[in-house]
């Protein structure tokens, strides 16, 4: 769709591709194949211009066991890869960048240590750092979406921009992975208040949702992350593409 970059999501848990309900592994996950690298190649073959990867082992256990998988994905596709997964230190950031990742997604760190977040943006550049805002009932949540902060998403967005952020990723956690429709109103409000580039995440269930989101591209929403709707063929063309590509990567 013209005007908004569509970014397929690959969630990795124990080296496998999963879709995690509401972004919380304990709530439930569904395995979509053993090989995240093959999934990345499929999305690239389906004309993806960028990939969004979430490493739940890194995020919840601070385990780096999937770094080799991340490295292989980055070397296998010729498009930028965005990585989210509990980045806490400069060492974390450097290891992920060394694996070939183009952009990091920083969430909890921006609240746990504002100065460190600010320094990361200065060190690596604002184009290589996205700030994630995860929201439940109009309240920012952190630490794997388990801890409430009492902070409104608009207040937090303005604070992130003051710290140097030039891109925000907005997720309504209750819509994430549910195919229940996107909370476009939330993303639009934040985009208009923060006046920076914004990526919408969560709730996209098909083409009609994308068409609705496209109406607000002039507010600063320039991209959207889609997961489950792609994996479950909620877009008309996908089944044809999958049949045509069967066995291509074997």
- pLDDT at residue 141 above 90? yes
Nearest to 208 by CA among 178, 234, 232, 228: 234
For 28: left if phi > 0, alpha if psi spans -120 to 50, otherwise beta; the answer is: left
Beta strand residue intervals within the chain, DSSP E: 5-13, 16-20, 29-31, 51-55, 81-84, 103-106, 129-136, 139-142, 147-148, 167-172, 197-201, 221-226
Q: For residues 237 and 24, is the Cβ–Cβ distance under 8 A?
A: no
Say what the pLDDT of residue 142 is: 93
174 or 67: whose pLDDT is higher? 67
**Mean pLDDT, the chain, integer:** 87
Say what the pLDDT of residue 92 is: 95
CA distance 121 to 124: 5
DSSP 130-173: EEEEEEETTEEEETTTTEE----HHHHHHHHHHTT--EEEEEEG
Confidence class for position 199, pLDDT limits 50, 70, 90: very high
Span 38-64, pLDDT tens digits: 999 989 988 889 999 999 898 888 889
Mean pLDDT of 218-238: 85
**Angle (nearest 5°) at CA 58 between 75 and 4:** 60
Domains of the chain: 5-245 (3.20.20.70)
Say what the pLDDT of residue 146 is: 84
Global pTM reads 0.88
Collect contacts of 21-24 with beta carbons under 8 A, ≥24 apart. Answer: 21/176, 21/177, 21/178, 22/145, 22/173, 22/174, 22/176, 22/177, 22/178, 23/54, 23/134, 23/145, 23/171, 23/173, 23/176, 23/177, 24/144, 24/145, 24/146, 24/173
Q: Residue 141: beta bridge partners?
A: 134, 148
- pLDDT at residue 66 above 80? yes
CA distance 103 to 213: 23
Out of 60-69, 91-100, 187-196, pick the least confident: 60-69
Confidence class for position 32, pLDDT limits 50, 70, 90: low
Q: Which residues are catalytic?
A: 11, 134
Say what the pLDDT of residue 239 is: 61
120 or 18: whose pLDDT is higher? 120
Q: For residues 149 and 113, is the Cβ–Cβ distance under 8 A?
A: no
241 or 168: whose pLDDT is higher? 168
Say what the pLDDT of residue 18 is: 82
Mean pLDDT of 70-76: 97
**Angle (nearest 5°) at CA 229 between 223 and 207:** 65
CA distance 37 to 7: 16
User: Could you tell me whether strands 103-106 and 129-136 are parallel, antiparallel, or unpaired per DSSP bridges?
Assistant: parallel
Span 159-198, pLDDT tens digits: 999 999 999 999 999 876 666 679 999 999 999 999 999 9
Residue 54: CB atoms within 10 Å: 22
As a whole-number percent, the residues of the chain with pLDDT over 70 amount to 86
CA distance 29 to 70: 20
Confidence class for position 70, pLDDT limits 50, 70, 90: very high
Say what the pLDDT of residue 176 is: 67
């Amino acid at each position: 769709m013209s005007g908004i970059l569509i970014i397929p999501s690959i969630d990795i848990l124990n080296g496998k591709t999963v879709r995690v309900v509401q972004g919380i592994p304990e709530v439930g996950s569904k395995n979509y194949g053993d090989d995240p690298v093959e999934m990345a190649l499929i999305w690239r073959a389906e004309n993806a211009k960028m990939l969004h990867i979430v490493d739940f082992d890194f995020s919840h256990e601070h385990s780096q066991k999937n770094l080799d998988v991340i490295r292989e994905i980055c070397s296998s596709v010729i498009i930028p890869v965005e990585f989210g997964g509990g980045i806490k230190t400069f060492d974390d950031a450097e290891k992920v960048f060394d694996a070939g990742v183009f952009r990091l997604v920083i969430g909890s760190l921006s609240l746990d240590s504002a100065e460190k977040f600010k320094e990361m943006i200065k060190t690596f550049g604002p184009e290589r750092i996205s700030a994630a805002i995860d929201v439940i009932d109009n309240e920012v949540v952190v630490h794997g979406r388990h801890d409430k902060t009492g902070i409104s998403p608009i207040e937090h967005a303005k604070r992130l921009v003051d710290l140097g952020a030039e891109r925000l990723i907005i997720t309504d956690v209750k819509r994430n992975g549910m195919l229940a429709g996107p909370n476009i109103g939330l993303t639009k409000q934040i985009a208009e208040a923060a006046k920076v580039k914004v990526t919408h995440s969560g709730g996209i269930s098909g083409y009609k949702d994308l068409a609705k989101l496209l109406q607000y591209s002039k507010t600063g929403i320039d991209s959207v992350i889609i997961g489950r709707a792609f994996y479950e063929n909620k877009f008309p063309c996908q089944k044809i593409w999958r049949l045509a590509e069967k066995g291509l990567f074997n």
